[in-house]
Structure 1
Amino acid sequence: MFSRSVLSSCRSSSRAVLGRSFATEAQITESAASTSSPQPTRPKKTARPNLHTAIILNRSPLISRTPTPFEKAFYAYQARIHRALHNPFSTDFYFKQGAPLETRFNIEERRRERRAFGHPFGQDTSEERNEAAELMEVAMRDEVDESMPRIHEADVKNDVKNLNRRGQRNLYLLLKTQEDGKDVWRFPQGSIENDEYLHIAAHRRLDAECGQHMDTWIVSRNPIGVYHPSKPTVTAENAEKEVVFFYKAHILAGQVRPDQTRYQDFAWLTKGEISRRTDEKYWAGIKDMLSDF
């Protein structure tokens, strides 16, 4: 059996070992806490951007574009082939023989033949003299099938406010206003009210900026583009930024009457003409939303 002195010595030695282990664990915890990375800081609260809606009001082309010389030659060649291979028109079924309408149709048919194949096609080959046909030809001598001119009076006068100008191209409405003491040309634009949908704001701003004297149609509830204008006078990091959402619309009838308290002038311009009136940054943000034709 162990004596009491031996047991007491064993107990004291075990307490010493446990004390050293507790001290080592505390030192490790303290060193780990001292070497750990600092707590991440919360990001600074940024200002909410001001939202705006802008309308790209489009007047679609009124006439087809002028064909190239190659296209003209191709279409003329196809028309001659079609006319040479088509079945003859049965005049006996539609016209009474010798009636004035039959005589008029025969004259018009010979004109079309001459226009397609040239001289000597389209001549009257009948040997008998037809006095009624001669009188009809004299009466129809001044009738010439000509299309309307492709250059409108507004193109000659360079009237940029006329919706009939540049009938072969897409036209877009631009308004002239003042920003930072400078004259600026841009699309109709306005701010959004609190808790207002973007497409509803676009409808409201179109009437407010351009008047209610025209019939328009906004294509979709979804914007077709976004633009972030920059203000050179604002340099603070938490300054309010602006975001402009663009919506596309078509004018069907009427004319724009902009708010004279905000805008000094307006113009219907093509894509190339818009690039010459707007600044470089604004043009870079909107050019991909416009049609090249």
Structure 2
Amino acid sequence: MFSRTVLSPCNRPPKEFSETTSRPIKPSRPIVNAAVILNRSPIITRTPTPFERAYYAYQSRIHRALHNPFPYEFYFKQGSPLEARFNIEERRRERKAFGAPFGMDTAEQSESATLAEASLRDEDEETMPRVHEADTKQDLKSLDRRGQRNLYLMLLKNESGKDVWRFPQGGVEKGELLHQAANRDLEAECGSHMDTWIVSRNPIGVYHPSSVAEPSSKAVVFFYKAHIMAGQARPDPKRVLDFAWLTKGGDI
């Protein structure tokens, strides 16, 4: 009979360590970037639609029809040039509110009325055009173009051998806050000839780009919104190939 020897866990020989045993891999730290969406707000009011123009004209006619008449006899001497000038301006306002048939000039005009109308023609102000010269020339670097729209600064850079349009952005240094890095990168890429204002210290969006050169790398871009108050972008030619102020969905 053979006797079986039972070894307790304490008496068992130590298990040899295998070199092929997998060790836990530390996760790679993400590459953090801060980008700035620099905006130039509209500088003129939006052109009203036909419905809005009709509504405003209707409200003007109602207001004109219901307003109390101005007691010009109390303020102006009868037959004076000031009275004639007021009557001419009143007829112009009536024609503008109710149409051409209203406020028609009579065939007989006094000498004072003729002089008053001539002085009004000299004082007529010309309305500035709503289309700037930069719009006709298609100058994408001008801040005067597209006055009714928001403009956003885009930079043309060479990344991995390809020309890419993107917002101003850069890396975050150790111990640096995100909004500080965004402001520093904006000045480094676009120059210090702009008066800008970052709206908040909190980012408005986060983007995880996929890198073709390093698909395993983890990168994250935090976007900050800013406004340009004065000045113009002057990018560093060593870092930026070109720049443009573009509208959303209109120029790209």
TM-score using structure 1 length: 0.72
Question: Residues 177, 106 of structure 1: CA spacing in aligned structure 2 closer, same or farther, 3 A cutoff?
Answer: same
- Structure 1: how far apart are the matches of 2:218 and 2:205? 17
State the AA in 2 paired with 1:184.
V
Q: May I ask how many residue pairs the two structures share in their alignment?
A: 233
Q: CA deviation at 1:90?
A: 3.6
Tell which structure's C-alpha radius of gyration is larger: 1
Q: CA deviation at 1:257?
A: 0.7
Deviation readout 1:174-233 (Å, 9 max, x if unpaired): 011101111111000111110111111122112112111121111001000011111112
Which residue is equivalent to 1:69? 50
2:179–2:201 Cα contact (<8 Å) kept: yes
Alignment of 1:84-163 (within 5 A): 84-91=65-72, 100-124=81-105, 129-141=109-121, 144=124, 146-163=126-143
State the AA in 1 paired with 2:29.
R
Q: SS state of the match for residue 228, structure 2?
A: strand
Question: Residues 99, 268 of structure 1: CA spacing in aligned structure 2 closer, same or farther, 3 A cutoff?
Answer: farther
State the AA in 2 paired with 1:48.
R
- Computed over aligned residues only, the root mean square deviation of the Cα atoms, in angstroms, reads 2.5
Q: Percent identity?
A: 68
Question: Residues 235, 212 of structure 1: CA spacing in aligned structure 2 closer, same or farther, 3 A cutoff?
Answer: closer
2:80–2:112 Cα contact (<8 Å) kept: no
State the AA in 2 paired with 1:249.
A
Deviation readout 1:42-93 (Å, 9 max, x if unpaired): 8531111111110100000111221221111111111111111112234356
2:91–2:103 Cα contact (<8 Å) kept: yes
Question: Residues 53, 95 of structure 1: CA spacing in aligned structure 2 closer, same or farther, 3 A cutoff?
Answer: farther
Residue in structure 1 matching 2:231, options 222, 241, 254 = 254
Q: Which runs of 5+ in 2 are unaligned?
A: 1-5, 9-21
Structure whose residues are more often helix by fraction: 1
Q: SS state of the match for residue 253, structure 1?
A: strand
2:204–2:223 Cα contact (<8 Å) kept: yes
Deviates more, 1:180-189 or 1:86-95: 86-95
Which residue is equivalent to 2:171? 191
- Structure 2: how far apart are the matches of 1:101 and 1:58? 49
Answering whether residue 172 of structure 2 is matched by residue 205 of structure 1, we say: no
Deviates more, 1:111-120 or 1:255-264: 111-120
Answering whether residue 220 of structure 2 is matched by residue 243 of structure 1, we say: yes
Answering whether residue 197 of structure 2 is matched by residue 217 of structure 1, we say: yes
- Structure 1: how far apart are the matches of 2:69 and 2:85? 17
Answering whether residue 182 of structure 2 is matched by residue 182 of structure 1, we say: no
Answering whether residue 244 of structure 2 is matched by residue 267 of structure 1, we say: yes
Q: SS state of the match for residue 195, structure 2?
A: strand
Q: SS state of the match for residue 123, structure 1?
A: coil
Which residue is equivalent to 1:172? 152
Deviates more, 1:213-222 or 1:84-93: 84-93
Deviation readout 1:103-153 (Å, 9 max, x if unpaired): 33332221111111123311356x974211112213333554553222111
- Structure 1: how far apart are the matches of 2:52 and 2:145? 24
Q: SS state of the match for residue 150, structure 1?
A: coil
TM-score using structure 2 length: 0.83
Which residue is equivalent to 1:47? 28
Which residue is equivalent to 1:59? 40
